[in-house]
Chains A and B, each alone.
Chain A
Amino acid sequence: MTARTGPTRVMVAMSGGVDSSVAAALLLEAGYEVVGVTLRLWGGESDSGCCAVSDVDDARRVADALGIDHHVFNLGDHFDAMVVGPYVADHAAGRTPNPCIECNRHVKFGRLMDRAGALGFGLLATGHHARVVQRPDGTRRIARAADAGKDQSYVLNMLDQDQLAGLILPIGDLTKAEVRRRATALGLRTADKPDSQDVCFITRQHGREDFLGRRIAVTPGRVLDGSGAEVGSVSAVELVTIGQRRGMALAGGVGPRFAVDVDVAGATVTVGPVGDLMVDTTPVESFSWADAPVDGMVLVQTSAHGSSDPAVLDGDVVRWSEPHMKVAPGQSVVFYDGDEVLGGSIARRA
């Protein structure tokens, strides 16, 4: 990685984790003028991810060790409005959103990127495991990380050409083990810090049900089998996710059954054997494209670390080449050309 001509001031989003710590260090080595920023997004209870004071402290102390300035930006109002509010509303409507993707869309690569530009930074960097690649025609795409197991291209599916032109992903060419080795070699205090996996505003102690239960009126629901017979019950139909197996008071003895359909308005959940989860098509909406819209044969990924499977994108329907696990409405459905992200969409109800 070498500093290009043009803008050489980079704002690096530092979460307090090892990836963004090393990202900042690599940018410095490459000769950029680097300023670190940590976002304060969530004022409520938290035990992980982007928001805890201890994570801010880690980011600040890494910045101190690297000799770069570090600022904390409070984008909490925007996070509430664009991530937490829709997360709650989506669940109330029976969808299963991915708040980290919405945070990337509206906060990190929305407000923060805009602010970086206004403050004179032509480039924003993050510690995501993914790469920005430039094609022969000059357009850019997100590509999968060198470390396939840590690849985060899926959660960066919404980036367009303007955003890609202003983005650096310094650690995309490194494996996680290499990232940690670099951190250790640099003496960074985050070298051995565990990865955060969870949604930052949901605590391990209280969980998603508690969080949503305090914010939406939940409806007890009936659980039906494919023939319409009542076989169980749930305390909150809004919190049931397609593919869920537990928490539905199902009697045993008939083999595992999974939630295959959730009807919030009708307060019913339909369960069936795993075969009932397989579908030929997945309807989608809310497209975003790296460059021009794409149709036809693509690879499609429907969860952060799932496989990518061949399908034909036909308007607003994904037609799978082989039967595919049903995708919960609200989940991101991301289109790839080989290892490169073409764009993304959101699964909708049929």
Chain B
Amino acid sequence: MDGVYLDHAASTPARPEVVEAMLPWLAEHPGNPSGSHAVARAARRAIDDARDLVAALVGAQPGEVVFTSGGTEADNLAVDGVVRSTGCLPVCSAVEHPAVLAPVADAGGIVVPTDEGGRIDLGALAEVLSSVDGIGLVSVMLANNETGVVNDLESVAALLAEAAPDAVLHTDAVQAVAWMDLTEACRSAGLVSLTGHKFGGPKGAGALVVRSGVPLAPVLRGGGQERERRSGTQNVPAIVGLGEAARLVVADRSATLQRVGALRDRLEAGLLAAVSGSHTTVPVGTSRTPAVAHLWFDGIESESLLFLMERDGISASAGSSCASGAQEPSHVLAAMGVGRGSALGSLRLSLGHASDDGDVDHALAVIPSAVSRLRRHDPVGGPT
């Protein structure tokens, strides 16, 4: 990959060991894991080895791991699966990924506001749980995809135990896997979503962990794979890659997060010092992953900044992108109470396993001068 890649929250490069592990499962071993002969059994063994590794990553039993095509499918399955099984009303926080927000909206569910850090407002959640009947699913993401802000799931779980003991807690842990010990952070969640390509695995393989006893109807129906919870021939090479990525992240996570956290802190502090009128989006002291620096700059538009950064070899992003590829105003920043004007000047720099000091040095050399250039030439002011 050319240039400096600071968009790991969008997708990470697959780690070399992952690519290595996947390759034999593309051509050498063609088996369908549902078959009975030796070639099929080899594929079955490969995905079950991966299942053990994903189970260890989350602190679940292998039988609780349902492989999906990725995070969106896992989130959809969590919400739709519980709603279809129980007829319950789902609830989620306002900063969830659209893969949660959309099925919650379709089920007529309730969206709970957040505090200014983007963490679910526990008081508002308590109010909803005490005033509305039939809530059977509460979805609260572990780490936010735009800001990296981390929710305290234990507090959410404690609230549920008191106010809605039958409700299932779902967490979208997609952005947390690389940075947090899920066996601790997710231990109270009945449903956990993750996807490989956010932590050094391939695109196209993710998982929903469904703890035993959680009521879940399938969304994809057919051949009954994944213990009737998700039909469709498993994506064997990608699942093998997902398993290998899970193994690697468990083995070296604590060292990586120390190193990357130091890079992020240097990047963030350097930008705040070098650019006047720059601000951190997340209030100081808010718990967050070590991977994301989320900033906004007075008087510029992030589309222009990203354009200039790309010309100087830096790939990053701002809010979320729509289907056309345009930058869209962020619902996450809106939920945090960040004004639309400020949100338009926001920048997300997200680091990953392979990020190094050179990346930070380059970003610190490019971004301040790009911001000054834009403020000189294209100040966002009154309409033309």
Name A residues whose Cβ lies closer than 8 Å to a Cβ of B. 38, 40, 53, 56-57, 60, 71-74, 76-78, 81-82, 106, 110-111, 114-115, 117-120
Excluding A73-B326, A114-B377, 15 further A-B contacts by CB distance (< 8 Å) are: A57-B324, A71-B303, A72-B324, A72-B326, A74-B322, A74-B326, A74-B327, A74-B328, A82-B383, A110-B383, A114-B384, A115-B378, A118-B304, A118-B377, A120-B311
Supposing A40-B326, A56-B325, A119-B307 touch, asked if A78 and B374 sit within 8 A by C-beta, the answer is no
Set of chain A residues within 8 Å of B303, measured between Cβ atoms? 71, 73-74
Supposing A40-B324, A56-B325, A72-B326 touch, asked if A114 and B307 sit within 8 A by C-beta, the answer is no
User: Which of B324, B327, B344, B378 has the most CB atoms of chain A within a 10 A radius of its CB?
Assistant: B324
Which residue in B322, B328, B378 is a CB contact (below 8 Å) of A114?
A: B378
Which residue in A76, A111, A117 is a CB contact (below 8 Å) of B377?
A: A117
Q: Give CA–CA (A111, B383) in the complex, Å.
A: 8
Instruction: With both chains docked as a complex, state the minimum distance between the C-beta of A145 and any C-beta of chain B, in angstroms.
Output: 26
Set of chain B residues within 8 Å of A74, measured between Cβ atoms? 303, 322, 326-328
Is B308's beta carbon under 8 Å from chain A?
A: yes
Set of chain A residues within 8 Å of B301, measured between Cβ atoms? 115
Q: Give CA–CA (A115, B344) in the complex, Å.
A: 15
Q: Give CA–CA (A56, B322) in the complex, Å.
A: 12
**A-B pairs with the 9 shortest C-beta distances?**
A118-B378, A118-B377, A110-B384, A40-B326, A74-B326, A56-B324, A72-B326, A72-B325, A53-B324
Chain B residue nearest to A37 (CB atoms) is B307
A-B pairs with beta carbons under 8 Å apart, 15 shown = A38-B324, A53-B324, A71-B307, A72-B325, A72-B326, A73-B326, A77-B344, A82-B384, A110-B384, A114-B384, A115-B301, A117-B377, A117-B378, A118-B373, A119-B378
Instruction: With both chains docked as a complex, state the minimum distance between the C-beta of A50 and any C-beta of chain B, in angstroms.
Output: 11
Question: B296-342: which have CB < 8 Å to A?
Answer: 301, 303-304, 307-308, 311, 322-328, 340
Q: Give CA–CA (A182, B344) in the complex, Å.
A: 39
Set of chain B residues within 8 Å of A117, measured between Cβ atoms? 377-378
Contact B383 A106 (CB under 8 A): yes
Name B residues whose Cβ lies closer than 8 Å to a Cβ of A. 301, 303-304, 307-308, 311, 322-328, 340, 344, 373-374, 376-378, 383-384
Number of A-B contacts (CB under 8 A): 56
User: Which of A73, A119, A120 has the most CB atoms of chain B within a 10 A radius of its CB?
Assistant: A119
Instruction: With both chains docked as a complex, state the minimum distance between the C-beta of A17 and any C-beta of chain B, in angstroms.
Output: 15
Contact A60 B325 (CB under 8 A): yes
Which residue in A40, A71, A118 is a CB contact (below 8 Å) of B322?
A: A40
Set of chain B residues within 8 Å of A53, measured between Cβ atoms? 323-324
Set of chain B residues within 8 Å of A78, measured between Cβ atoms? 383
Set of chain A residues within 8 Å of B322, measured between Cβ atoms? 40, 74
Set of chain B residues within 8 Å of A76, measured between Cβ atoms? 326
Supposing A118-B374, A118-B377, A119-B308 touch, asked if A111 and B384 sit within 8 A by C-beta, the answer is yes
Q: Give CA–CA (A76, B327) in the complex, Å.
A: 10
Chain B residue nearest to A110 (CB atoms) is B384
Contact B383 A115 (CB under 8 A): no
Instruction: With both chains docked as a complex, state the minimum distance between the C-beta of B339 and any C-beta of chain A, in angstroms.
Output: 13
Instruction: With both chains docked as a complex, state the minimum distance between the C-beta of A84 and any C-beta of chain B, in angstroms.
Output: 13
Chain A residue nearest to B378 (CB atoms) is A118
Instruction: With both chains docked as a complex, state the minimum distance between the C-beta of B311 and any C-beta of chain A, in angstroms.
Output: 8
Set of chain A residues within 8 Å of B373, measured between Cβ atoms? 118
Q: Give CA–CA (A76, B323) in the complex, Å.
A: 15
User: Which of A71, A74, A111 has the most CB atoms of chain B within a 10 A radius of its CB?
Assistant: A74
Q: Give CA–CA (A118, B306) in the complex, Å.
A: 13
User: Which of B308, B323, B328, B384 has the most CB atoms of chain A within a 10 A radius of its CB?
Assistant: B384
Q: Give CA–CA (A71, B310) in the complex, Å.
A: 11
Q: Give CA–CA (A117, B374) in the complex, Å.
A: 10
